[in-house]
Amino acid sequence: MTRYFTKDHEWIDVEGGTGTVGITAYAQGQLGDITFVELPEVGKAFKEGDQAVVVDSVKAAADVYAPASGTVAGVNPALADQPELVNTAPEGEGWLFRLTLADPAELAGLMDIAAYQAYIAGL
């Protein structure tokens, strides 16, 4: 499994042709307490950069973008009753959705962990 990051603070874990998507610890820290997560429908297709999820917090609503093109293969069912999982485990149990990748070559434009950590250090 390989993890990639976007400049919009999404992560994607890629295994085979499927990616699991969530927001980074940095992003959830900026949002504060998550109160609701509006997940996409299974089967919905996205292009890289499309708005995929809306995360509502006590501070604001934030869009989460698809880090790669593909079709939603599943969503995290736990978030319906426990949106706070995005706060407590943003890069684990608080994942948002799974994506069947349309073009894995798009991942080459994303950052690895070292590049992402350097990016947020400069913010």
Kindly report the number of other CB atoms within 10 A of residue 54's CB atom.
Answer: 14
- pLDDT of the residue at 119: 98
pLDDT digits (tens, 9 = 90+) for 81-109: 999 999 999 999 999 999 999 999 999 99
Whole-prediction pTM: 0.97
Instruction: Give CA–CA dist 10/90, Å, rounded.
Output: 10
CB-facing half-sphere around the CA of 95: CA atoms within 13 A: 16
pLDDT digits (tens, 9 = 90+) for 2-54: 999 999 999 999 999 999 999 999 999 999 999 999 999 999 999 999 999 99
- Whose CA is closest to 37, among 92, 100, 87, 91? 87
Kindly report the number of other CB atoms within 10 A of residue 36's CB atom.
Answer: 13
Class of domain 2-121: mainly beta
